[in-house]
Amino acid sequence: MCDQTFLAITFGPCDNCSQNKPLMNIYLKNEPINYCSLCVELMACQGLAKGETIHTLKAESETLKTKLEEERAKLHDVELAMKTTVFILLVAVVDFSSGDEIIGGYECKPHSQPWQAFLFDNRFLCGGSLINERWVVSAAHCRFSLDRLLVHLGRHNLQTNENTEQEIKVEKIIPFPKYNDSLNNNDIMLIKLKKPVTLNEYVKPIRLPEKCSSEGEKCLVSGWGRTAAGSASVLQCLNLPVLSEETCKSVYGKIITKNMFCAGFFNGGKDACRGDSGGPVVCGGQLKGIVSFGFDCAKPDHPGVYTEVCRYTEWIKSTIAKK
């Protein structure tokens, strides 16, 4: 896809056809999107590959309009991801051959994080945390299709049948009512399972926090992705400290609210990354945070930002009681 096409599809028609450089290639059902530009009054700029001349196709505007609407519908999920703030930890498309990992982490001891959930709807994945037999908490920016979403629990290696897994369909997805997707504020949602999980040594809930995170607190974040060697997709862990609110705001500015905290290392090299979104940040045996966003992954001077779960314990409890 070219830059003007993307801008037009996302924000409306562009102003001229002269700035057409490839933005990215997108394939739907293994078929490439063939439009390289969209301009005023739905005119198309084509012939852009390899320096070819730009041609304006007014006569085909109505045909293009119809085709564009079809492509717009297909691109709905892609647009949602692209329009999100550059700081957001984009939900990863599952591809075990080239997926992301918790950068600088290590393989968790198998089943040492029995609350860890793997959320997958055949398109996107996120992490989550089991908080009781019927409820999982994750990040609101993980945009799933309810009818296709499955919650996997009791897993360590995603490519191996370990006979410890439980796979459960979802009854409800409940984002926090005041979630702001442009600023990623209130980035939390509840997921109600269609049936209770079977609690055992491989599947256990995590406690909600009794108090908020504090500077210097030692925490552990976990999520799935490749190992550094590119081998099997096993659960990755990373130990990291909570940073002060002042430090967090010095990096991200006014985007940081009381509903967030920063954790990580200023020298970079260690961080949660794409595909870890929604996963748990556990401090002292309590769910203190949810993987939310950051500036790229493991970049120096840009620690990760996490949802401050203590700000939502009353909402979580009241929502569960009502539903």
* Residues listed for the chain: 323
Rounded to 5 degrees, φ, ψ at 29 are: 55, 40
Taking the CA of residue 235 as centre, how many other CA atoms within 13 Å lie in the half-sphere pointing to its CB?
Answer: 24
d(CA 183, CA 179): 9
Burial of 206 (0-12, 13-18, 19+ CB in 10 A): buried
Q: Which residues, in sequence order, are CB contacts of 129 under 8 Å at separation 6+?
A: 115, 116, 117, 136, 137, 138, 206, 279, 280, 287, 290
Q: Which residues, in sequence order, are CB contacts of 283 under 8 Å at separation 6+?
A: 209, 213, 217, 218, 219, 220, 242, 289
d(CA 52, CA 77): 31
d(CA 201, CA 204): 7
Query: DSSP letters along 163-216, please?
Result: S--EEEEEEEEEE-TT-BTTTTBT--EEEEESS----SSS--PPBPPSS---TT
**CA gyration radius, the chain:** 21
312 three-class SS? helix
Catalytic residues: 141, 187, 277
Q: How far is the CA of 104 from the CAs of 5, 160, 219, 244, 306, in angstroms? A: 37, 24, 15, 22, 18
d(CA 224, CA 257): 28
